[in-house]
Amino acid sequence: MPPYPVAAIMLLAWPMITAVIFARMERVNAFIWSILLGYMFLPPSVAIDLPAVPAITKYEIASMSSLLMLWLGMGRKSTDRDSMAEDPPPVFPPIIKILLLLLLFSGAMTVVNNGDPLIEGITYRPGMDTSSLFAFVIMQGIELIPFFVAFRLLSTPHQTRKLLTALMIGYLIYSVPMLIEVRLSPQLNVWIYGYFPHDFLQAIRYGGFRPIVFMTHPIWVASFATMGLIATAALTRTYLMGPRMVLVLFYLVGVLILCKTMTAIMMAAIGLPLVLFASARHMLTITMVIAVVVMAYPLLRLVDAIPTDEIVEFIREWQPDRAGSLEFRFEHEFMLLERAMQRPLFGWGSWGRNFPLDPVTGRSLAIADGAWVIWYGTRGIMGYLAAFGLLVVPLLILWRRRYELMLRHDDPSTLLVAAVALMLALNLIELIPNGTLTPLTWLLNGTVLGHACRLRYTRNARRRWKDDRRDLSERTGLRAAL
């Protein structure tokens, strides 16, 4: 059990709080908000660790609680009119089924391949056994709950709008404690739960403080702020354009800047203009390019095809501190990659076996920041391909079927779907330097895949789309905006 009583009480009480949410809200909104509120307000970096059961953090508790409520049939039925409500539910394509099976198979092989204990100098790291296999399978299934549920519930434009609205409102709510911590230092988790979840020095940046609120690290808060900002921009462009929403956008941009996290600010600088001004077709093309680059990143690092030295020197000219941090990450990535290549197919497993250690002091010689290098070291090439394939393939499928998407939906709906895909792609970029693979990532991923699987690929879709645009211009006397 967590050593902090308030944190333990909050984690144990969350299923009951989820039941209240489902009793008072429509079931799709209840699912979204149960995941989102758990992510925002439950205590981070602690877990309920019972015998013979994997340690359960706030991510797993929020996901399992929402799934239980859906299984019990809780949540009010929607009275909104959804034009796709009577459509057949989406079905997983074969490639996704293969990746899911590969994810389970690679986890099992990781356990089988790492039964030997590691004794290096004064350190001892135990081997993995059948209980580890049980934990791997169970935790993998729990982690993917938002993915599976979003695939079924959020794969229409009407339901996707609810997701984006929740992210916008969630960011607006969270901006209040964020601003408090920017001014007073990150203390809310200490005041309420009795502990600080990370190294306090990580919350100090540019002579001020970065908010952490109830998340694992300030980077997680900034990443959430980026999602909320892009969701707000998408809703502003499609449905809520007006002076009030423009002011809200400027306010949220200011809060994100106060997070003082360069990765999140760069992602917002890429995503915000695209969502506000680019066409859905162009956004989907950019997401496809990002997906391919992210998937190929480990290979590019292995063959030293990324000019890391040049990148560091370029950043050093205007941000010496950030250049030093980036250089540190690149060096440790390379050490972890060298360690991973000693067991390349299925990785080293858990218990910190993927870290090189000093045999004299027993201290780790490397720090793992990026989610991709963590997966690569613990689960090997097969585990990485399975996990990141599940994240990347939906973007590729949606891009391949983009003309069917634009034929089926009106422009606002198409833009909302493209905005969700762009949010997922930007989160994938963040997984290179950071470990921000969260339930919100899987929520976006399931939504994108659900939209893609409701469409079909036809070779003449592009021609039909152009014909429709030409007919529209002839009827209205206006030049079609291609």
Same domain, yes or no: 55 and 179: no
Q: Same domain for 269 and 407?
A: yes
Q: Are residues 357 and 273 in the same domain?
A: yes
Q: In terms of domains, do 57 and 194 share one? A: no
Into how many domains does the chain fold?
2
Out of 49, 76, 103, a domain closes at 76
Task: Please identify every stretch of the chain with a pLDDT value under 50, giving residue numbers as ranges.
Answer: 478-482
Residue 346 and residue 420 in one domain: yes
Do 126 and 180 belong together in one domain?
yes
- Residue 187 within a domain: yes
390, part of any domain = yes
Residue 87 lies in a domain: no
Domain boundary among 46, 76, 106: 76
Q: What is the pLDDT of residue 111?
A: 87
pLDDT at res. 481: 42
Same domain, 160 and 57: no
pLDDT of residue 299: 84
* Claim to verify: residue 161 and residue 191 sit in the same structural domain: yes
Per-residue pLDDT of 394-405, as tens digits, reads 999 999 998 888
Report the alpha-carbon distance of residue 275 to residue 252 in Å, rounded. Answer: 15
Q: Residues 242, 367: one domain?
A: yes
Question: Is 176 within the bounds of a domain?
Answer: yes
In a shared domain, residues 263 and 288: yes
In a domain, 477, yes or no: no
Shared-domain flag, residues 345 and 418: yes
34 lies in which domain range? 1-76
Percent of the chain with pLDDT over 90: 48
Asked whether residue 258 is assigned to any structural domain, the reply reads yes
For residue 279, tell me if it sits in a domain.
yes
170 within domain boundaries: yes
**Residue that is last in its domain, among 26, 46, 76:** 76
Indicate whether 383 and 434 sit together in one domain. Answer: yes
Q: Give pLDDT, residue 171.
A: 96
Q: What is the pLDDT of residue 479?
A: 45
